[in-house]
Amino acid sequence: MSLGDSATELGKVEGIGSARRGGEDWIAERLSSVALLLLGTWFLASILFIPKLDLETVTEWLHGAGGAVPMALFVIVAFWHAVDGLKVAIDDYVIGEGNRWACNTVILFFAVAGASLCLFALGRIAFGAAS
Amino acid sequence: MAAVRDRPISPHLTIWRWGPNMLVSILHRITGAGLSIVGLAALTWWLLAISGGTASYATFTKVASNWIGIVILIGLTWAFFQHLFSGIRHLVTDTGMGLHLRPNKLSAILTIVGSVLCTAFLWAYILGALK
């Protein structure tokens, strides 16, 4: 592993300095945050402006592409951003490489399961018979 | 290969003086964790309840319209706005803008004022529409 030219000899020996990776994670979290800025606003506005939140109205809304597609995107990006965000907190507060890995893995499994359940539900609504 | 050693972790909260900036910083994490866990669990349940039909949707609306359900939904609404506004503030400061003491403190205060006002107006509207 190269520490680059800026590291002093002592720094190279001790292995201190920046982690030299993780920039992609940081960019990815910003990217998903910008997407959520749009999708989250869409979600809140939709909930507010839908005439009624009864089963019939909501099913009709999510039955069409105009409701189902942004909702699927919202679900995917929200779970993705949640995993990235919780990872930042875990990496800051949980002590020990193994513990961090365990926490992050549990969160990832829950997020994938949750997102899959949401997409299954959305598929069932969108491709089922209109109520 | 550099020697493996413990990386520095975040300083403990008690050494910080309370101020709008650090309050907004920790609120960003708390609201993010709340939205990730409680918010996404509620979203998953809602979508599954819609796809499940009349009986499952009735169970969801019964819990959601209960006083404890409303308290949780109001909390999630506030967390949404707080995380949204401080998230926008993060994106702005990521570009290097708004880092001077006064604008930084002002923008921190504005995220809190904004999230409380938006939550209050939204729920006054919702609870007014229900009556």
- Please write the tens of the pLDDT for every residue from A99-118: 999 999 999 999 999 999 99
Q: Give the Å distances, CA to CA, from B58 to A57, B73, B123.
A: 14, 17, 22
Compare CB distances from A118 to B9, B47, B125 and report the shortest one's residue: B47
Tokens representing A18 are 């920046």
Kindly list the residues of chain B whose beta carbon comes within 8 Å of any beta carbon in chain A. Answer: 1-5, 7, 9-10, 29, 32-33, 35-36, 40-41, 43-44, 47-48, 50-51, 53-54, 57, 61, 80, 84, 87-88, 90-91, 94, 122, 125
Collect all residues of chain A within an 8 Å Cβ-Cβ radius of residue B2: 1, 3, 12, 14-15
Whole-angstrom distance, CA of residue A111 vs CA of residue B36: 9
Indicate if the alpha-carbon torsion angle A34, B115, B63, B54 is positive or negative.
Answer: negative
CA atoms within 13 A of residue B128's CA, in its CB half-sphere: 7
CA distance B40 to chain A (A): 8
**Confidence label for B15 from pLDDT (cuts 50, 70 and 90):** confident
**Confidence label for B11 from pLDDT (cuts 50, 70 and 90):** low
**Confidence label for A1 from pLDDT (cuts 50, 70 and 90):** very low
pLDDT tens-digit series, residues A20-35? 777 888 899 999 999 9
Angle at A35 between CA A24 and CA A88, to 5 degrees: 45
Alpha helices in B3-100 (DSSP H): 20-34, 40-52, 54-64, 67-94
**Residue B97 vs residue B131, higher pLDDT:** B97
Whole-angstrom distance, CA of residue B114 vs CA of residue B6: 40
pTM of the model: 0.87
pLDDT at B6 over 90: no
Compare CB distances from A121 to B2, B7, B48 and report the shortest one's residue: B48
CA A110 to chain centre: 12
pLDDT tens-digit series, residues B60-119? 999 999 999 999 999 999 999 999 999 999 999 999 999 999 999 999 999 999 999 999
What is the pLDDT of chain B when averaged over all its residues? 91
**Residue A129 vs residue B86, higher pLDDT:** B86
**Residue A19: what pLDDT?**
72
Whole-angstrom distance, CA of residue A77 vs CA of residue B86: 18
Cβ contact B79:B34 at 8 Å: yes
Give me the residue label for tokens 């997409």.
A119
